């Protein structure tokens, strides 16, 4: 496709997004929202697009583009360009009709790239010129660029550290990104800033590069082996991956994740599968392991208890965890003082795991009856 044709398609889709965003009915439902950010160095204005998450699942999707993480730039009255490009929204195995094994077997082709799903905050690194890098979270930018209270600001600081470790500079990276017209997609994993579910101590903290997308309105992404080499060149951490030949091999990975919480000898949230449809279009789906899902449920239960809200227990141990948290709030309230600020999450979980392994559950009683040991 020619550059002129690409710009025409991009501009058409961006105009459609504006129409949806500005329509009275859709505006009320906040189906599509946009927000402008002005870059400090050049004064360039970028527009961030946020689509209502639940709408992505609809078939057909009501959006003209499936991007989750999209910043555009107005060139003139009729022309828009993509400045930052995340992945298309993708779903868990079994979550939609397109992520059922039968559909995957009949409609996708290999090779199947299996990438670790790191547990952090997604970060995009792009450039609007040869000398101005843009670092964003999914829908926002930091002001100033290194604001340590903002995900993008912390990510920018990490980016400088990674570049320094490789003997590279931010100006060199800006030049390279602008030349190739791409967005680096990374995961910010830094427990000192914000804990999620899995633990990232200082020696494993930083930016994990897991994708490089071309700044085009339709998803066009680099193979994982190229991403790995480029990430190493710029000093970034790189998400582990492997390449498998067929769907049966992916089923084997899924079966393994049911019993273990590791991939490539590392504890992970799960894995992302990258392949193509029969029409040669990119297709992603994800598989999460049950250990992560259980721990994530415990985090949400804790937040609900601290906010005096109702919660649901899908995993068998969760009801015991909830009772244990209520008891610890009585004798160790200091454990939870910063929980709402994403602190102490892994510590509290580990304390419960120790309690469980020690067989002390009778001390907190039957969570269904409230009867304790005499």
How many alpha carbons lie under 13 Å from residue 89 in its C-beta half-sphere?
19
Annotated catalytic residue, options 28, 35, 78, 117 = 117
Predicted pLDDT of residue 218: 96
The values of phi and psi at residue 84, to 5°, are -140, 130
**Confidence at residue 349, expressed as pLDDT on a 0 to 100 scale:** 97
pLDDT at 107: 98
- Residue 344, sorted as left (phi over 0), alpha (psi -120 to 50) or beta, turns out to be left
What are the structure tokens assigned to 361, written together? 């559950």
DSSP type of residue 348: H
Helices (H), the chain: 3-22, 24-29, 101-107, 151-165, 170-180, 224-233, 247-259, 290-306, 318-331, 345-357
Cα–Cα distance measured from residue 145 to residue 153, given in angstroms and rounded to the nearest whole number: 5
For the chain, give every residue range classified as CATH 3.30.470.30.
88-94+119-238
The DSSP H or E segment spanning 72 is strand 70-74
Given the DSSP bridges, would you call strands 121-129 and 108-117 parallel, antiparallel or unpaired? unpaired
Nearest one of 345, 352, 272 to 320, comparing CA atoms: 352
Burial degree of 321 (CB within 10 A; 0-12, 13-18, 19+): buried
Q: Which residue has the tokens 């961006």?
A: 14
CA distance 82 to 216: 6
Helix (H) and strand (E) counts in the chain: 10, 16
Class of domain 88-94+119-238: alpha beta
Sheet containing strand 45-51, strands side by side: 32-38, 45-51, 70-74, 80-85
- At residue 48, the 3 state secondary structure works out as strand
CA distance 369 to 374: 14
The token duo for 63 is 């959006």
Q: Is residue 275 within 8 Å of 108, Cβ to Cβ?
A: yes
Per-residue pLDDT of the chain (374 residues; tens, 9 = 90+): 445 556 679 999 999 999 999 986 766 678 999 999 999 999 999 999 999 999 999 999 999 999 999 999 999 988 999 999 999 999 999 999 999 999 999 999 999 999 999 999 999 999 999 999 999 999 999 999 999 999 999 999 999 999 999 999 999 999 999 999 999 999 999 999 999 999 999 999 999 999 999 999 999 999 999 999 999 999 999 999 999 999 999 999 999 998 888 899 899 999 999 999 999 999 999 999 999 999 999 999 999 999 999 999 999 999 999 999 999 999 999 999 999 999 999 999 999 999 999 988 777 766 654 444 33
325/308 Cα distance (integer angstroms)? 13
Q: How many CB atoms are closer than 10 A to CB 58?
A: 10
* pTM attached to this predicted model: 0.93
Phi and psi at 201, nearest 5°, equal: -65, 170
Cα–Cα distances (Å) from 165 to 134, 135, 168, 326, 356, in that order, read 20, 19, 8, 45, 42
Q: Is 117 considered catalytic here?
A: yes
Going across the sheet that includes 132-136, the strands are: 132-136, 121-129, 182-189, 206-214, 237-238
Identify whether the C-beta of residue 237 lies closer than 8 Å to the C-beta of residue 209. Answer: yes
């Amino acid at each position: 496709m020619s550059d002129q044709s690409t710009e025409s398609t991009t501009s058409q889709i961006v105009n459609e997004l504006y129409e949806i965003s500005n329509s009275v009915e859709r505006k009320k439902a906040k189906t599509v929202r946009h927000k402008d950010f002005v870059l400090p160095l050049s004064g360039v204005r970028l527009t961030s697009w946020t689509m209502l998450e639940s709408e992505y699942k609809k078939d057909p999707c009501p959006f003209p583009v499936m991007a989750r993480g999209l910043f555009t730039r107005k060139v003139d009255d009729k022309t828009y360009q993509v400045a930052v490009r995340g992945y298309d929204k993708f779903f868990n195995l079994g979550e939609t009709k397109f992520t059922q094994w039968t559909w995957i077997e009949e409609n996708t082709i290999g090779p199947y790239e299996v990438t670790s799903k790191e547990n952090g905050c997604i970060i995009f690194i792009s450039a609007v010129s040869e000398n101005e890098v843009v670092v964003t979270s999914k829908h926002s930018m930091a002001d100033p660029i290194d604001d340590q209270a903002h995900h993008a600001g912390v990510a920018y600081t990490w980016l400088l550290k990674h570049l320094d470790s490789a003997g590279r500079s931010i100006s060199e990276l800006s030049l390279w990104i602008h030349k190739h017209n791409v967005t680096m997609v990374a995961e910010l994993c830094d427990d000192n800033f914000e804990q999620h579910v899995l633990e990232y101590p200082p020696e494993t903290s930083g930016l994990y590069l897991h994708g490089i997308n071309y700044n085009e309105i339709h998803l066009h992404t680099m193979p994982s082996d190229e991403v790995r080499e480029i990430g190493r060149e710029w000093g970034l951490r790189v998400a582990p991956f492997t390449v498998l030949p067929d769907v049966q091999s992916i089923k084997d990975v899924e079966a393994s994740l049911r019993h273990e919480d590791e991939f490539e000898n590392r504890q992970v949230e799960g894995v992302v599968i990258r392949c193509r449809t029969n029409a040669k279009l990119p297709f992603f789906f994800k598989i999460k392991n049950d250990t992560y899902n259980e721990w994530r449920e415990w985090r949400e239960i804790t937040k609900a208890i601290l906010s005096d809200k109702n919660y649901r227990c899908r995993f068998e141990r969760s009801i015991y965890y909830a009772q244990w948290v209520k008891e610890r709030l009585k004798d160790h309230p200091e454990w939870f003082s910063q929980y709402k600020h994403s602190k102490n999450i892994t510590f509290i979980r580990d304390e419960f795991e120790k309690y469980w392994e020690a067989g002390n559950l009778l001390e907190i009683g039957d969570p269904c009856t409230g009867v304790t040991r005499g």
